[in-house]
Amino acid sequence: MRFGLAWVRGQATATSRPGGNQAELTPLDEKLGEVLGLAQAAQDATTKVAGMEGADEFQSRLEQMSQQAAETERRVDELVDGFDGKKTAIREKAANTKSEAKEMMRTYLAEDEEALDGFEFLTMAEAGELGHWEIVTTMSDTFGEAQIAQLADWAVSVQRKHVDAVRESCLELAVSEAKG
């Protein structure tokens, strides 16, 4: 069964890179690809929400979140750059995750232009990002990957602040929406 799964993954990798190395990613490598893609998508999402109706007073908060997402992307990419033989596959995983996250944003915000809708989307996106980083923390602790665990600890603390900031913004907007 395990062999079968590895074979299927090997085939999938081979079709995306004909003649290339068939990098076999560990579950932790795959998670790193996912958090890399989510950090990339988060920069687009915060920029999108910053441009929505009623987002004026949240500009500095959104800007900070966007910069921290860029810093997260930079740190993960720097780490992945040292993974010889696997970095291309991890970056491919990131690109897939990013396009899935952007597709989700397009679907969710199809007709919406108001900041509250935007922050509702960020409620899901930031919670998802936090959840992924907590998984990275647990996996890297389990495998004794100290360098990855250190990065994940930093990212989890950043993500907790993002989740709080988005929640506060939603509730502030809810008050103004309720008052009409």
- Closer to Fe ion by CB, 52 or 128: give it: 128
- Closer to Fe ion by CB, 89 or 128: give it: 128
Least distance (Å) from Fe ion to the CB of residue 46?
8
- Closer to Fe ion by CB, 66 or 140: give it: 66
Q: Which stretches of the chain bind Fe ion, using CB under 5 A?
A: 42, 126, 129, 162
Least distance (Å) from Fe ion to the CB of residue 37?
13
- Closer to Fe ion by CB, 13 or 72: give it: 72
Least distance (Å) from Fe ion to the CB of residue 45?
9
Least distance (Å) from Fe ion to the CB of residue 122?
8
Closest-by-Cβ residue to Fe ion is 162
3-state SS string for the chain: CHHHHHHHHHHHHHHHCCCCCCCCCCHHHHHHHHHHHHHHHHHHHHHHHHCCECCHHHHHHHHHHHHHHHHHHHHHHHHHCCCCCCHHHHHHHHHHHHHHHHHHHHHHCCCCCEHHHHHHHHHHHHHHHHHHHHHHHHHHHHHCCHHHHHHHHHHHHHHHHHHHHHHHHHHHHHHHHHHC
